[in-house]
Each structure stands twice: as C-alpha cells, then as structure tokens.
Amino acid sequence: MAGDGGDGGNNNDDGGGNREEVQIQIAGSSKAATSSIHEVHRQNSPAKSWQWWLMVGVNMFFLIAGQTASTLLGRFYYNQGGNSKWMSTFVQTAGFPVLFIALFLFRSKTSSTETIASIPAPKTSIKKITLIYVALGLIIAADDLMYSYGLLYLPVSTYSLICASQLAFNAVFSYFLNSQKFTPLIFNSVVLLTFSASLLGVDEDSQGTTSISHGKYILGFLLTLGASATYSLILSLIQVTFEKVIKRETFSVVLNMQIYTGLVATLASLVGLFASGEWMTLQGEMHGFQSGKLSYVMTLLWTAICWQVASVGVVGLVFVVSSLFSNVISTLALPIIPVFAVIFFHDKMDGVKIIAMLMAIWGFISYGNQLYVDDKKARKTTANVEETD
C-alpha cells in the first residue's frame, strides 16, 4: 500500500524527479520539552506565522462544517426511514476516494522543503506505516460501529451527553501519551466545552422518554462511553504517529493518514455489512425512503463526503496543533448544530441551547487565547536568541 512510507522515500530522492510538497507548520503545544509552537516559529517569520494561523482556520472550518452537515444529513437519513447500523458506519469513512483529488493537487505544487528542526527526516518503513494504518483503520471502524449502536439504543439527548465525555478522555490521553501541558486557559476551555455539551444533552433529555428496554439502554450507554474513549485514544495515537513515526511536515501526510485509515475502516464496514445480512435490507430501505430513491442515494453520498471533510479537519488539527485542540473544536460544534436544526428541521431554540452555545464559544476563545500567548512567547524567545547571536 502506498502510504506515508512511500512518501517518505519520495521526500528524500523523489524517485529521481523534482517535485516537492507544500510545507505547513506544526504547533507543538503538547510537547513539554519543546518550545510552545513546536519550534517552527523559531525564525520569527511573519509569513510562516500567517500560514500557520491560516492552516488552523481552514482545518477548523472543515471540521465544524463537515461535522455539522454530516450530523444533519444523518438525522435526515433516519427521519426519512433509514435504519441500517452498518450503512451508517460505512458512510462515515466511505468517502475517502475524494481525498485523492486534494492529494494530487498538493503534490503537484512546488515549494521549498523543510523538515523538523532543519534535519532531513529518515525514511519511514513502509511495513511499519502500513501496520499503523491498518490498526488505526480497524479501531476507527469499531469506534464508528459503537457510535451507531449507541445512537440506536439511546435517546439523542443522552447520546450527546455521553459523547461530551470524549473531551475529558482526550485530556487524560493527551497528558500521558502526548505530554500535553495544562495551563489555566486550557483547563478552562475543557471544562466549559464539556459543560456546554452536557447542558445541551440534559435539556434535550427533558423533552421525552425512550421505549428501549433497560438492557439495551445499558448496552447503548456502555458502547457510547467506550466509543467516546476510543475516539479520544485515536486522536492521541494519530498525534504520536505524526511526531514519533512519520516526522514530516507536509499536508499530504495528513491526507495519506485519512485516506488509508479510511480505506481500512471502509473495508471492515463492508465485511460487517455483508456478514450481518443487513445488505439484504438496503433495497427495501431505499424503496421505503420517504423522499424517494434519488434522495436516498444523494443523502448517503453527501453524508460520506461531509464526513471526509470533517475527518480532514480532525486529522489536520491534530497535525497542526494537538489532539486535544482537535477535540475542543469537535466539541465546539455540538452546540452549533441545533442552530442549523432550527433552520432546516424547525427545531425549537430555547434559552438552554443558547446558553450552551455561548459557553462553547467562551471555551473556544479561552483555548485560542492560549495559542496566542504561546505564539507571543515563542516570538519573544526567538528575538532574544537572535539578539544574543
């Protein structure tokens, strides 16, 4: 499989060609032993700082827009008569082929190359990176399936409340696996965003009850909790892979990670779809879709594409900033979704949802302020070093 291992070779000798990849910056706020912005601002270049902030903004947009759109489309799928758990799992990763377009565009552009700390990165073993892609892909497939079962057996409100725990799980994994430093601003951001999503879930819980049996309810609770913990673990493992294994600063690294883990997860979902026998119900599901067959196909197609947009944002933020920040932005989107639900599904927008959204924005600003403080300190340190030299 032509993964990042192959790219590692191309970066050094490029198969005899002269193509080079567009470079981006990594903010290593999660590394206690390095400077605040992963030492990529050490040259105090305004252009690099501008590019880094632009990259953060683009990936944030991808994550929030993709997650919001895919969630709304997923709700539309169920509202119109869709009911396949494995199909719901499948579409979360099946859109990965569209990323080959972006991969081609980034590889075809030329730019001067840099490696971490200006030292050429060693070749990444193709065998090693393949094993990592396969392992992460299988974990992602299992995680998506757990989320699908959780949503089936739990009220949406309870499901959202438990999903909010993923930020707390990620804080723990980031501390132990990624050496994440917890400043008061970061801690404040984590607490506010967790409370924001939880408040939204509690508010929705008061609007109705569920007819699911107690046994299935407990199973749904445990699976959703396990999925939240697994999702957080995936983000930390991806960050470890970028920092310890791949060690390269190109956007194609992000795309390769998403493409090949998506491929593995999609194949695993297909195996589950056929092994479970759910594939035999899909034709009847399509015929029974309230808005028609074409709408059924387009709903699944655009859900798959939107999930890929969101996933690129997730992996991109892990690569550019940290796994914790990626999860912060993902949690930020939870209170934003009801705003669009009001527009498209005519949901009621009450005071509790407004408060939850404001808390989420406050938490995001808190984390953003920490990034600004880190960047300012890094620039000051760099200026002092240059004056000493």
pLDDT tens readout for residues 221-238: 889 888 988 988 998 898
Asked if the structure places residue 223 within a domain, the reply is yes
Distances (CA, A) of 268 to 109, 136, 211: 34, 12, 31
Domain that holds residue 237: 94-108+124-198+212-276+318-380
Alpha carbon of residue 62 to chain centroid: 9
Q: Is residue 337, in this structure, part of any structural domain at all? A: yes
pLDDT of residue 301: 94
Average pLDDT over residues 340-354: 72
Mean pLDDT of 53-58: 88
For the ranges 42-46, 79-83, 324-328, the lowest mean pLDDT is seen at 42-46
Whether 243 contacts 177, CB under 8 Å:
no
- Whether 88 is covered by a domain: the verdict is no
CA–CA distance, 343 with 360 (Å, rounded to integer): 20
In a domain, 367, yes or no: yes
Question: How does residue 356 score in pLDDT terms, banded at 50, 70 and 90?
Answer: confident
Domain annotation covers residue 142: yes
Does a structural domain hold residue 115?
no
pLDDT of residue 206 exceeding 60? no
DSSP code, position 290: T
Torsion angle, CA of 166/148/144/177, rounded to 10 degrees?
Answer: 20
- Does 308 fall in a domain? no
Look at residue 313 and tell me if it is in a domain: no
| More confident of the two residues 183 and 155 | 183
pLDDT of 35 reads 36
pTM, full prediction: 0.70
Q: Is the pLDDT of residue 315 over 60?
A: yes
Q: State pLDDT tens for residues 242-300.
A: 888 887 767 788 788 889 999 999 999 999 999 999 999 999 999 999 999 999 999 99
CB burial readout 280-314, b (16+ within 10 A) else e: eebeebbeebeeeeeebeebbebbbbbbbbbbbbb
d(CA 140, CA 231): 8
Q: How far is CA 128 from CA 11, 233, 235, 241, in A?
A: 17, 19, 19, 11
Specify the number of domains making up the chain.
Answer: 1
* pLDDT higher than 70, residue 46: no
Reported confidence tier of residue 185, pLDDT bands at 50, 70, 90: confident
In sequence order, the β-bridge partners of residue 250 are 23
